[in-house]
Amino acid sequence: MGGYIVRRLWQMIPTMLGVVLLVFVLFNWVGGDPAYVLAGKISSHEQIENIRRQLGIDQPYYVQLGIFLKQIVTANFGSSWSTNEKVSHILLTRLGPSLTVLVPLLILGTLISIGLALAVAYVRGSLTDRMVMIVCTVGLSISILVYIIVFQYVFAYKLGWFPVQGWGDSFWQNLVVYASLPILIALAVSIAPDLRLYRTFVLDEINQDYVRTARAKGVSENRVIWVHVLRNASIPIITYLMSGLPGLLLGSFLIERFFSIPGIGREVILAVERSDFPVIKAITVYVAFATIFTNLLADLTYKAVDPRVQLK
Amino acid sequence: MATPSATLGAAVPRSARVVPHTVSPGLWTLAWRRLKSDKVGMVSLVIVVLYLVMVILSALGLIANDWQKEVGVNYAPPSFLGAEKVVAAPDETPSVPAVPGGLTVPIGGGTTAGAAGGTSPATSSGAPAAPAYQSTIVDPIGDVIARLRAGKLPAGALPPETAEEKSVDPLAQVMSEIRADQKVAKAEKHETRLATLPFGGDKWGRDVLKKTVKGSETSIFVGIAAATVATLIGTLLGAIAGYYGRWVDDFLNWFYSVFSSMPGLLLIFAVAAVLQHKGVFTIVLILGLTGWTGVFRLIRAEYLKHKAREYVQAADAIGASNARRMFIHIFPNVSHVALVQLSILVVAFIKAEVILSFLGFGVPVDVVSWGSMLNEAQNELILGKWWQLVAAGTAMAILVTAFSIFTDSLRDALDPRLKGRAGA
């Protein structure tokens, strides 16, 4: 086990370097001279030269890459180009609001999807099952934008049950007042695909021999479903959940944008709109690193929930 | 696939005895038979084909060519609703009755239906006489102001601009220049505009139906083109990695793990931020260059499996080159995997394009897509103009539903072992 973890950590290094290289090539080479972006349209030659010296892009590429690596290791990406706020400060302060929406969403969404998936798979092939699947397919086809626009209009603007948008200072106020409609919308959007997927996971297990054995020896139906089937179906579900975690941080960017929640996702959109390269670079690199680490965690959890798995 | 049995049948001497000459159906024939027996799949295939025909006709300029023409009044409601009720000012009686369809309203300076109703008797003779606010001016609250003015000031006596506006508004000078231009432009053509349009009109009175057709063209083209690019990249790299193995495989696997360790949308955003140039082909490129990882993984696994099979060894024995073995011998046997992935990617990329264009990172401003329509519709909904939202949302939902169901049927038909497995 220990050897396995060490080997996996060792294997991560080339991937992480690749991510750094990709981001570097993208922003320092493909994107052209950042000095022009930063200096704006009206700028003199000296100004451009000054900015180039400040950013270090008058240096050869390998020196620039060294600077970039140093920035990543020390978590010091300098200041945002548009607000002059420290990039590290931006990341830390935006994490809280994102998590305020994400954690309840993740818990509620997982519980509801698994519960529904078990129920639907239990009555597989019936009219209910087919109806739920049709609703899921159609629901998935409607753009998430339409859901957000319509829900925000109806529940916040017309009916006034929730504030249209905003964010406060106290955690509880944020969670109860401002985050509840965004969470509800995100739930409505995320349950359909999760339910479809989890249903296939449950269906893979529900026809197995051990289920028939359990029934044959007189185990109650509740125990068969909630203990025998769920425990085995949870293996792929957990892996799926884990691997999607870092993406979730950004996945709610539309929600954050519509409801003016100052989270990471909204920050990415703002940064792209303003060509704020340091912020995009920092978020891209760190989210990619987080993904690489959670992939390892996912494999370890896989081992933990399923003792049959051999880690190689 | 069909040829071996056919030649076997022909090889038997005809004089000996009559051999039933049956050709065993190949993979594609069998798949097509299975697909044909799948009713839901066929219905969705028909819908997808209809959309494609619409896209081709629209791309050739045969339909919806004049979508930019402002044919209706601003926010013309859909015909089945009838013309918009005139917002009656306290001292005025509505002069335009709510007659559904076909009714034309003379444009006096291009105000909203409500304001035009109030002022049309006075201004119908000379269009440029009292241009309160030109409809073509891009001003999100222009029509609201126009309505306020129509309510407060006597009809026909609306001043083009007030002294107060001039002193407060730093752009008043620019505005009056724009107005002057508009006056000249408007004076040349007397036009009448429809009070209602079949599916309603947008802020500038453009036909939402035509806009939706044109938007479908953009969104579907981007989806299909980007999916093709991604599938080509993924298939090529996957084939090379799986076929050659060893250090080539290691290198391409590293490349794959780098790309797949970034959440898709983040990578798309990063590329969009870097590429300042906006255009339909830019977005095709962005989506294509970032979305190939799933295809790569599956195709690589297939090639790993196939390269050790007997038929590839046989091809080797008769001296087929590497490229020939990879693309003439192996590829037809794994192409169904690529096809299903292509189909899945089309839907994913249409959704991604809509989101990108909505955020303004996608297609340029002068190109209409479902995403840019939804962007406009977001503000219109607050004013109660829901038709553009419904038109774009429904057009997209029908296509995506049909395409997803077709994809499932296609996968079931090509790989019956997977039948009944949704998602994943």
Q: In the predicted model, is pLDDT for residue B419 greater than 60?
A: no
Q: In the predicted model, is pLDDT for residue B104 greater than 50?
A: no
C-alpha distance from A146 to closest chain B C-alpha (Å): 6
pLDDT of residue B151: 53
Distances (CA, A) of B288 to B230, B275, B292, B304, B364: 4, 14, 7, 24, 18
Question: Please, what is the average pLDDT of chain A?
Answer: 80
Choose among A71, A102, A107, A114: nearest CA to A229: A114
pLDDT of residue B269: 81
Find, in chain B, the residue whose alpha carbon is nearest to that of A136. Answer: B401
Cβ-based contacts of A160 with chain B (< 8 Å): none
Using the beta-carbon criterion (under 8 Å), do A141 and B401 form an inter-chain contact?
A: yes
Using the beta-carbon criterion (under 8 Å), do A280 and B273 form an inter-chain contact?
A: yes
- Amino acid sitting at position B310: E
Distance CA A61, CA A64 (A): 5
Does B395 contact chain A (CB < 8 Å)? no
Using the beta-carbon criterion (under 8 Å), do A31 and B405 form an inter-chain contact?
A: no
Average pLDDT for residues B121-134, to the nearest whole number? 40
pLDDT of residue B147: 59
Higher pLDDT, B267 or B399: B399
Place of tokens 């506006």: B165
Distance CA B123, CA B138 (A): 23
Per the rule left: phi > 0, alpha: psi between -120 and 50, beta: everything else, B49 is alpha
Q: Tell me the sheet residues that pair with A86.
A: A79
Q: In the predicted model, is pLDDT for residue A112 greater than 80?
A: yes
Using the beta-carbon criterion (under 8 Å), do A291 and B262 form an inter-chain contact?
A: yes
Q: Which of B354, B377, B396 sits opposite A149 (nearest CB)?
A: B377
Q: Tell me the sheet residues that pair with B194.
A: B72, B104
Over residues B204-237, the pLDDT tens digits come to 777 778 888 888 888 899 999 999 999 999 999 9
Distance CA A141, CA A145 (A): 11
Distance CA B221, CA B350 (A): 9
Q: In the predicted model, is pLDDT for residue B136 greater than 60?
A: no
Q: In the predicted model, is pLDDT for residue B40 greater than 50?
A: yes
Using the beta-carbon criterion (under 8 Å), do B361 and A272 form an inter-chain contact?
A: yes
Distance CA B157, CA A200 (A): 69
pLDDT of residue B105: 46
- Amino acid sitting at position B102: G
The full set of domains in chain A, from first to last, is: 2-74 (no CATH), 87-305 (1.10.3720.10)
The SS3 assignment for B382 reads: helix
Distance CA B286, CA B281 (A): 9
pLDDT of residue A167: 76
Q: What is the per-residue burial (b if ≥16 Cβ within 10 Å, else e) of B34-70? A: bbeebeebeebbebbeebeebbeebeeeebbeebeeb
Q: B221 with B55: CB under 8 angstroms?
A: yes
Best-predicted range by mean pLDDT among A178-182, A249-253, B281-285? B281-285
Q: B350 with B41: CB under 8 angstroms?
A: no
The count of other CB atoms within 10 Å of the CB of residue A78 is 14
pLDDT of residue A288: 85
CA angle A183/A249/A159 to nearest 5° reads 20
> pTM to 2 decimals?
0.75
Q: In the predicted model, is pLDDT for residue A286 greater than 60?
A: yes
Least confidently predicted of B29-38, B144-153, B219-228: B144-153
Cβ-based contacts of A19 with chain B (< 8 Å): 258, 261-262
Over residues A113-145, the pLDDT tens digits come to 888 888 888 887 778 888 888 888 888 888 888
Predicted confidence band of residue B3 (pLDDT cuts 50, 70, 90): very low
Average pLDDT for residues B98-105, to the nearest whole number? 43
Q: Which of B255, B272, B389 sits opposite A149 (nearest CB)?
A: B389
Higher pLDDT, B332 or A248: B332
Phi then psi dihedrals of residue B154, to 5 deg: -65, 145
Over residues A61-94, the pLDDT tens digits come to 777 777 777 777 777 777 777 777 777 787 787 8
Distance CA A108, CA B101 (A): 49
Question: Please, what is the average pLDDT of chain B?
Answer: 73
The count of other CB atoms within 10 Å of the CB of residue A125 is 10
ipTM confidence: 0.81
Over residues A158-215, the pLDDT tens digits come to 787 777 777 777 777 777 777 778 888 888 888 888 888 888 888 888 888 888 888 8
Cβ-based contacts of B377 with chain A (< 8 Å): 149
Cβ-based contacts of A138 with chain B (< 8 Å): 397, 401
Q: In the predicted model, is pLDDT for residue A98 greater than 60?
A: yes
Predicted confidence band of residue A31 (pLDDT cuts 50, 70, 90): low
Using the beta-carbon criterion (under 8 Å), do A26 and B271 form an inter-chain contact?
A: yes
Predicted confidence band of residue B111 (pLDDT cuts 50, 70, 90): very low
Higher pLDDT, A281 or B73: A281
C-alpha distance from B373 to closest chain A C-alpha (Å): 11
pLDDT of residue B185: 56
Cβ-based contacts of A291 with chain B (< 8 Å): 261-263
The full set of domains in chain B, from first to last, is: 30-58+210-418 (1.10.3720.10)
Distance CA B323, CA B251 (A): 19
